[in-house]
Every structure is written in C-alpha cells, then in structure tokens.
Amino acid sequence: MSAIRYEIRAATQADQDDLLELASYLDSVNLPHDATAIAELLENSDRSFSGAIKDPRRREYIFVLRDLVDKRAIGTSMVIGQLGRRDAPYIFLDVLTEEKYSATLDKHFEHKKLSIGYSYKGPTEIGGLVMHPKYRAAPERFGALISYVRFLWIAMHRAEVQNEILAELLPPLESDGTSHLWEAVGRHFTGLTYREADRLSKRNKEFVKGLFPDGDIYASLLSPAAQDVIGKVGPQTRGVEKMLRRIGFRYAERIDPFDGGPHFVAPTDEITLIKSSARYHVIVGEPAADAQRFLIAFERSDAPYFVAIRARASMSNGRVSINAQTAAHLGATTDDTLWCLPL
C-alpha cells in the first residue's frame, strides 16, 4: 500500500517560507508577498482555527496543500469570516446602467456608471487561492482540491459563516501589475499607486471613504483601457470563474474599487459543494470495491487542528468506511466523526 503523499491542513508558522514563495505568484491583498505580513496572517489563522479569536466574523483561515515527499506547501487558499465591520467596511463599486433619450435629437444612450458602496455586515469571503506553477497542470487536479477544501470547511462550520459567500476574481492586469481602472479613477482621488492603495486597504480603509467621490462615476468618461477591465476576469482566474459558476456563483454586477475585478456571490446554502458535503461516523475497514473518491476532513483539538486528504471511501447509514492507512493519517478511529465531499 503506497504512502499518502499529499494532504491539506491548517497552515502553521512552519509554512511561512513556502507561503512567501506562493505569494510571489499572486501578491494580493489577502496574500501579500511580504514576510512580515505572512507571519501575521499565519498567527491570525492559527488563532482562528484554535478558537482563540472568539468572534467568528474576525477569523481568517489559511489552508495549505502539502507535498509530503518534497516537504513543501504547493498550494494555499483562505476563508475570511466576514467582510465589513464598523472598523473596516466592505467597499465595492456597483456597476449600474443608466439610459438617456432625447426626443429632440432622437438619440438614445446607455451609460455605465460606477457607484461606490459600503457594507458593515458583508459576506464571508473565499480567497487567497494560489497553486505553485509546477503543479498547476498535474493530473491530480491540485487546484480543485485546495479550492474545494474551503467549501468543505464551510459546511463543517455553517453556523460560523455568513449567509452569502463572496469570491473576488482578479481582472486583467498589465505585466507590471498596473491596474488601468485604478490609474483612471483611484489614483486621481488618492494620489496613491495601485500597490500602495492595495496594501494600505488591508490595514485601513478610511482613506477610500474619505477621498473617493460620493456620487456616481460615469465609466464612459474613462479611458478605453479602463472601461475594458470593468467586471472582466483576467486570464489567470478564468478557470476559477468556470468552477464558481458551475457550483452556483454568479457575477454580482459589482467590482473591486481598486482594480475592477468582478465580485462573484452565492447564497451559502445553495452552493453545490456545500450541499454535497456531509458528516459521517468512522468505520475503519476496507471500503467497498466500487468506493468513490472523496475529500475527507478531520478536526483535531491541537495543531494543526484540521487535516484533509483525498481517499476512497464508502458510505452507508450515516457511516463511512475508510482503510487503516487513511484513518491513521487523519488521526481518526472508529466512531470518530469525519466530513466528506465527493470528488
């Protein structure tokens, strides 16, 4: 019986160097390419998984997909308990359409408008999804695993998340990371570069509310390059968009105020991956010959608190049969409780 090579678990401080490398392939607000920021994120994640952060809305969970042979994290993803609080509102731009008609000229126009909005009780966010380039095209579909684990975790902790889930996708950016929308709008109102504003917004969003205009912004007055990225999905996240749409997400006609990236949303209880996740009691024994593959998760009382692997299992009457190797790797024994998501 071959050893289990890949596992997903809660991130720990031991993953700092690997996460820093993974961040270099994205460098986003959720996962910045900065060692100090990564250390802070890992500490917050550890306190979230352990329950040291009492308010679930303030928790941020980081998952890592590890290659146990090469001893490295090859992928990561996140769940953020809630966007939008009194001290840090969820800020967005609604994309609206306004129709104008002149009978005198017999001319009709449709104008796209951007209207800034703020929410102090926003959705739960899934984000921070990064795969090491070496593993992206692997037949094991590692990207799906590290993405799906978030929905399995949400199913396990449904009472702790909001009734809507948000995924913010990256828009088309220039090779140097330039955002055409930010250059056309945000920079004029803040005097900050896109990177400066993006980083600052992680810690403090007051400058957006203080400096951005309260009224609508007519996109037709922006440069063609800026107009073209509004609500568009960048090439690096088109696969994610397809997956999100397949499991119940839709474009919310809402974008990020910094780069114009589209916001996709779904009611939590209508997401297919969450609906198909279920809890079972363990039977340690060989699964049936026709057993399917599942993403199987087990929670522990000590670090790393959460572990998941892909394994074959068979279900019957609320019980799941897994082999001894799977049970030992997870740390589960007969009559323990596991959660399973069919793959």
The length of the chain in residues reads 343
User: CATH code for 275-342?
Assistant: 2.40.40
* Tens digits of residue pLDDT in 272-324: 999 999 999 999 999 988 899 999 999 999 999 999 999 999 998 999 999 99
Closest by CA to 311, choosing from 280, 335, 265, 272, is 280
Q: What pTM did the predictor assign?
A: 0.93
The C-alpha R_g of the chain, in whole angstroms, comes to 22
In the chain, ranges of CATH 2.40.40 domains? 275-342
| Cα distances (Å, whole numbers) of residue 142 to 104, 129, 145 | 60, 11, 5
Provide the 10 A C-beta neighbour count for residue 68.
13
Provide the 10 A C-beta neighbour count for residue 111.
14
Do residues 60 and 76 make contact, with C-beta atoms less than 8 angstroms apart? no
Give me the sign of the Cα torsion angle 216, 222, 226, 230. Answer: positive
Q: Which residues contact 221 (CB under 8 A, 6 or more apart)?
A: none
Cβ neighbourhood burial of 223 (10 Å; 0-12, 13-18, 19+): exposed
Tens-digit pLDDT string for the chain (343 aa): 568 999 999 999 999 999 999 999 987 878 889 999 999 999 999 999 999 999 999 999 999 999 999 999 999 999 999 998 888 889 999 999 999 999 999 999 999 999 999 999 999 999 999 999 999 989 999 999 999 999 999 999 999 999 999 999 988 888 777 889 999 999 999 999 888 887 788 778 889 888 998 889 999 899 999 999 999 999 888 999 999 999 999 999 999 998 889 999 999 999 999 999 999 999 999 998 889 999 999 999 999 999 999 999 999 899 999 999 999 999 999 999 999 999 9
| Cα distances (Å, whole numbers) of residue 122 to 11, 58, 185, 204, 332 | 25, 12, 24, 17, 36
Distance CA 319, CA 337 (A): 9
Alpha helices of the chain — where are they, by DSSP H?
A: 16-23, 35-50, 142-156, 180-181, 187-190, 194-203, 206-211, 224-229, 238-247, 272-275, 324-330
Provide the 10 A C-beta neighbour count for residue 52.
11
Closest by CA to 161, choosing from 38, 266, 255, 280, is 266
* Tens digits of residue pLDDT in 248-279: 999 999 999 988 899 999 999 999 999 999 99
Query: Coil, helix or strand for 150?
Result: helix
Distance CA 133, CA 143 (A): 10
Residue type, 322: I
**Counts for the chain of helices (H) and strands (E), in that order:** 11, 15
What six digits make up the tokens of 289? 């010959």
| Cα distances (Å, whole numbers) of residue 116 to 39, 47, 93 | 32, 33, 4
Place of tokens 């993974």: 22
Beta-bridge partner residues of 295? 310, 341
